[in-house]
Chain A
Amino acid sequence: MFEILGNINVDWMGKRKIFISVSIFILLAGLLSALGRSDYMNKGGTDSFNLGVDFKGGTVVTAKFKQRPSTDEIRNALQSVGIAESVIQESTDKKDEVLIKIPDFETGGSVEGQANAEDKTKISGREKVKSALISFGKEAEGATTLEQDANAAFKIVGTEAVGPVAGAQLRNQAVIATLLGLVGILLFIAFRYDWTYAAGAVIAVFHDVLITLAFFSVFQWEINLTVIAALLTLVGFSVNDSIVIFDRIRENLTLNRSKSLYELTNQSINQTMSRTIVTNGLVFLSVLALVLLGGEVLRGFSLALFVGSITGTYSTIAIASPIAIWWQEKLGAAKMKMTEVSGGNDKLASAARRSVRRKSVVR
């Protein structure tokens, strides 16, 4: 057999204080970054999170040029049509494309002698940017590509424009859907294992999402809808990892009634370690490829998964398991003197285990 690990015997639970300190440190850094950048603490500064147009509203125009102007030239052109605020990002993987981000979804256009201010014709962000880019030359119109049109200087190849109301709605819906998904996971794990395990797994997931968000806040990476998809993916991986270990703990509980939960948890983590390394190693390397090769559009997605694939593995060992056994021991200590619960329960709920006399985990 070609193995990465043979039998290992590491006292993972004994290191729980170090693990939890590391997590708390990263979470605090994220919290400080989010608070420090918020309007509340730092008026007029950057935002807690660099929210994309999906969640904040605004327009992103992807324009392809024959001869790409410098960002300053584009900014000047935008300013000349009245767009004061803009973020211009040169695509790293495609040398002829530029992402132009402006905070407006629609801007007021010319008033054509109408009586009501309401009837002002509104100009979409796309049209506004187009009117600025015209100063570099003609746009390839309709179905013609930039290459086909000899006279054209640029073509708008993509737009994302979200109004402020829709932005808030997308944001709320993403958060609600994710939270409901977590509640579903909590209930299912509680049904299959025990409340303490469910709590451990769900807290670990929260931990992973928060750590990922902490990175996004500290490094000001942009959060858009693809990042949400990545967060959902990492929730899946993280819970998956927790369940694999819980499942092994559950199995070992029936096999080794004499060992403490503390020892059993360590044993389970060690037994599943080669699987953890193989699976997560493969995931990690695939995600690394995505970060390096995935391009501008997938940047946020790749980065979120990159952070998530590391923290997801880590949190199972460092967060989910310690919480589960800590809670079990608390309950167990309280129930130690109660009447013994008869065995034979297939669910192997902790109630049955709690009745079994075992050593204290605290060392």
Chain B
Amino acid sequence: MKNSSLWIRTGIIVAITLIAIIVVFGPRGSVASKDFTWEGIKANLANNINLGLDLKGGSHLMMRVKIDDYLKTLATNNKDAAVNAAKELQLPVSEGSIVAEKDNYQVKLNITDAAKKAEIIEAVKKKVDFTNWTESSTDTTINWSLPAQTQKVMGEQAVEQALKIIESRINAFGVKEPTLQRVVAKDSGQILLQMPGVDDPERVKKLIGDDARLELMKVIGASNPSPMTTYPTRETALQSIGGQEGGSRKVLPFMERPDNATNQPAQPNNQPTAWVVVETPAIVDGNELRDAVPVSRTGNDNDYQISFSLKPAGAAKFGDWTSKNIGAYMAVVLNDQVKSAPYIKSRIDDQGQIDGRFTKKSAEDLVLTLKSGALPAKIEYQEERTVGPSLGADSIRSGVTASVGGLVFVIIFMLIYYRGSGINAVIALVLNMLLTMAGLIWLDSTLTLPGIAGLILGIGMAVDSNVLIFERIREEIRAGKSIQQSIDLGFDRAFVTIIDTHITTILSSVILYLYGTSLIRGFAVTLILGLLINLFTAVFVSRTIFMWLLSRKAETQKLSI
């Protein structure tokens, strides 16, 4: 009876070991002769194990989409559009205002004639999307507020949109194997970007955060042939619109390009040459962009400009506006700076260009950001970790040295202290490490520095399991039991303890995994794996080896322990 079960146990162990060896050291794909050489095995191992950025080098960037900023912009734009819509029809709206605090976003219109309230609401809603807003009104005000649920949905959409845009920017930039994911609580607006191999993320960071907001706006003031109305300072520009921005007016700096730019070195500090007043909202903005390309006039590196074309909907809007405003000056606004201000000669449908002193690199980056669309809200960086490849390699080396050194020490001790049975423990330990590695690869999990800490704790508990069992067997032998009985009792009693210690630790690791940050998760995963595998190696495998020893000599009187 014993022998058949012993063979089954052995078969299970051998099969699992072989599978693990193939998973850890085997090639992905077809087998070649080089897979049996030392170099080939090393290469396969490096290929199979998915190292975290802290070990292989790379950048880890945590950013947050400023949802509050997004909702504030939304409220402001809706307010401007609502005021414009009412004023266009000469309805009695004196002014608009917004409330934008934490979780409270409102648009308010002050009206001067209560009788026309319904008419105003109707006119505004025709032009402005207030579908999900809660409407309320008194005789003097109309109020739209954003319900909490809608805020959440909109925030969610903004983050998803930002995620897509960032993804397209990174891909276009050519980062290899980036991972981009939303992290922690869904409504925190946090996005984690990991870029292996990138150890100076400044350019990528700038590219992502750059909010290349293109707007085409009407310049307020005289039309062609008189020159464009400009102001020497921001203050004088503000005075012309009654001291403050608001309603549908905004003051922007004009960063004019010098006429003979081609022969001049780039100006070190761009000071605005003048200020202009423009009308909000914009005629069309970057969302309507179909394509943009950098174009060089002379071929010099610092002489690039960007020509763009618009999508059909934007083109229709733009065509409509240009045909009605022939002679007016139109500002090409990039990130709240007027880059150029041509006047409208005739109806234009879908072509335009941004002048400016761009270098080839900056023009290319700008085109990239323009094409991927405007970010719905600003991005703020919260965490940045970079590890150069050499530092990562050092960490692996010291981690591996410490682990291997510890393991060798433990093995020597076990062999001296438990003699013959020490071999048992050593087999169990080595198998444990092999299977944990195989488990990590099978789960496609990444091995990080905290992960190595989890691995070490797992090995510590594996050693402890062996010690518990062996000490118990020794105790039973001391108490005068036969070898067979001592081994059975030792395993049975120690098993209860091992189960309890393992379940406790697995349980707390699962909780750590569920609630912890990504670093803590790395620790939890390797620890859980190591412990589950230890239940197999320290109990099942070790016991099978003892069973083999006993089966050879039925009436063993001595056990090397």
Q: Which residues of A contact B (CB under 8 A)?
A: 1-4, 62, 64, 94, 105-106, 110, 112-116, 119, 124, 126-127, 142, 145, 155-163, 165-166, 169-170, 173-174, 176-178, 180-185, 188-189, 192, 225-226, 228-230, 232-233, 235-237, 239-240, 243-244, 247-248, 251, 271-272, 274-275, 278-279, 282-283, 285-286, 289-290, 293-295, 297-298, 301
Q: Which residues of B contact A160 (CB under 8 A)?
A: 384-385
Expressed in whole angstroms, the Cα–Cα distance for A159 and B410 within the complex equals: 35
In contact, B381 and A163 (Cβ under 8 angstroms): yes
Q: How far is the CB of B210 from chain A (nearest CB, A)?
A: 10
In contact, A301 and B464 (Cβ under 8 angstroms): no
In contact, A1 and B474 (Cβ under 8 angstroms): yes
Within 8 A of A (CB), among B156-196: 184
| Contact A166:B382 (CB < 8 A) given known A115-B251, A240-B501 | yes
In contact, B467 and A275 (Cβ under 8 angstroms): yes
In contact, A247 and B497 (Cβ under 8 angstroms): yes
| Contact A185:B508 (CB < 8 A) given known A158-B386, A173-B517 | yes
Q: Which residues of A contact B517 (CB under 8 A)?
A: 170, 173-174, 177, 225
Q: How far is the CB of B238 from chain A (nearest CB, A)?
A: 10
Q: Which residues of A contact B468 (CB under 8 A)?
A: 244, 275, 279
Q: How far is the CB of A232 from chain B (nearest CB, A)?
A: 6
In contact, A243 and B390 (Cβ under 8 angstroms): no
Within 8 A of A (CB), among B449-488: 449-450, 453-454, 456-457, 460-461, 463-464, 467-468, 471, 474-475, 477
In contact, A233 and B391 (Cβ under 8 angstroms): no
Q: How far is the CB of A106 from chain B (nearest CB, A)?
A: 7
Q: Which residue of B lies closest to A225 (CB)?
A: B519
| Contact A278:B471 (CB < 8 A) given known A229-B450, A232-B512 | yes
Q: What are some 23 contacts across the A-B interface (CB < 8 A)?
A: A1-B477, A62-B388, A62-B391, A114-B253, A126-B202, A126-B384, A158-B199, A159-B386, A181-B511, A181-B512, A188-B503, A226-B450, A229-B523, A237-B460, A239-B504, A239-B505, A247-B500, A275-B471, A278-B471, A279-B460, A283-B460, A294-B398, A297-B398
Expressed in whole angstroms, the Cα–Cα distance for A182 and B449 within the complex equals: 23
Expressed in whole angstroms, the Cα–Cα distance for A181 and B510 within the complex equals: 8
Expressed in whole angstroms, the Cα–Cα distance for A42 and B251 within the complex equals: 50
In contact, A301 and B453 (Cβ under 8 angstroms): yes
Say yes or no: is B402 at the interface (Cβ < 8 Å to chain A): yes
In contact, B507 and A188 (Cβ under 8 angstroms): yes
Q: How far is the CB of A58 from chain B (nearest CB, A)?
A: 11
Q: Count CB-based A-B contacts (< 8 Å).
A: 221
Among A115, A182, A226, the one with the most B-chain Cβ atoms within 10 Å of its Cβ is A115
Complex partner residue of A180 from B381, B417, B515, CB under 8 angstroms = B515
Q: Which residues of B contact A (CB under 8 A)?
A: 62, 64, 184, 199-200, 202, 205, 234, 251-253, 255, 269-272, 336-337, 380-388, 390-391, 394-395, 398-399, 401-402, 405-406, 409-410, 413, 416-419, 449-450, 453-454, 456-457, 460-461, 463-464, 467-468, 471, 474-475, 477, 493, 496-497, 500-501, 503-505, 507-512, 515-517, 519-520, 523, 527, 561
Q: How far is the CB of A200 from chain B (nearest CB, A)?
A: 14
Complex partner residue of A163 from B383, B387, B418, CB under 8 angstroms = B383
In contact, B384 and A161 (Cβ under 8 angstroms): yes
In contact, A161 and B383 (Cβ under 8 angstroms): yes
Q: Which residue of A lies closest to B449 (CB)?
A: A226
Q: Which residues of A contact B418 (CB under 8 A)?
A: 2
Q: How far is the CB of B560 from chain A (nearest CB, A)?
A: 9
Expressed in whole angstroms, the Cα–Cα distance for A236 and B455 within the complex equals: 13
| Contact A232:B500 (CB < 8 A) given known A162-B382, A163-B383 | no
